[in-house]
Amino acid sequence: MRYARLAHSAGADGLLAMPPYLVLAAQEGLLEHYQAVAAATPLPVIVYQRDNAVFTPRTVVELARTEGIIGLKDGLGDLDLMQRIISAVRTGALADFLYFDGVPTAEQPQQAYRAIGVPLY
């Protein structure tokens, strides 16, 4: 939260919120963490899904409902999970939520990501 406020005061346009370092947290803990980050700053927040922060579709729906959280960047490359997340968020009438391809070799699965509704990198 401190770094989110510092980023805002330094003139950042938004935040890419990485997972907590060296921590494997339950879904509830991850949700509370990112909600606290979003509440600490007026900056738009994009949550980064990576190997130690893998979200269920239900958790992403709650993230999408959180004021200030505008998107999810996927660094896993699990297209099945991403498709289920996107479907759950759309079912929750949260169509403005953004999705980003963040896998290390993003140019390779880019077409597959676009096909399920992930147009951004």
The catalytic residues are 48, 73
Buried b (16+ CB within 10 A) or exposed e, 9-32: eeeeeebebebeeeeeeeeeebbe
Beta strands in the chain (DSSP E): 15-17, 45-49, 69-74, 98-101
Q: How far apart are CA 16 and CA 73, in angstroms?
A: 8
Under 8 Å CB-to-CB from 24, ≥6 apart: which residues?
52
Nearest CA-CA partner of 68 in 89, 98, 108, 88: 98
